[in-house]
């Protein structure tokens, strides 16, 4: 991925959050493939993903973007 200069910290953080969510999703997938529903690591990564999503929603709202704005028409 090429490097792009980002002047707005909110946009930089949104980009970082998307990368974090992608990474956590990969780890969640690995743990789900084990088939253990009570896997402590799986529970922790799902919690971490939810925290990233909460922050992502907040950052998007700061840019006046709501989840309904992102739904394809």
* Statement: residue 1 has pLDDT above 60: no
The pLDDT value given to residue 5 = 66
Does the structure show a pLDDT above 60 at 35?
yes
Annotated domain spans of the chain: 8-32
Q: How far apart are CA 52 and CA 34, in angstroms?
A: 24
Inter-CA distances, 50 with 53, 56, 66, Å: 5, 10, 17
Residues 6-17 pLDDT 10s? 678 999 999 999
pTM (predicted TM-score): 0.81
pLDDT at 70: 83
Q: How confident is the model at residue 4 (pLDDT cuts 50, 70, 90)?
A: low
| Torsion sign, CA atoms 62, 13, 68, 63 | positive
């Amino acid at each position: 991925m090429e490097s792009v200069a980002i002047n707005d910290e909110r946009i930089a953080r949104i980009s970082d959050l998307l990368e974090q969510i992608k990474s956590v999703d990969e780890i969640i997938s690995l743990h789900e493939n084990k088939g253990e529903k009570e896997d402590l690591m799986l529970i922790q990564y799902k919690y971490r993903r939810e925290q990233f999503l909460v922050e992502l929603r907040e950052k998007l709202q700061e840019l006046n973007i709501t989840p309904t704005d992102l739904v394809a028409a």
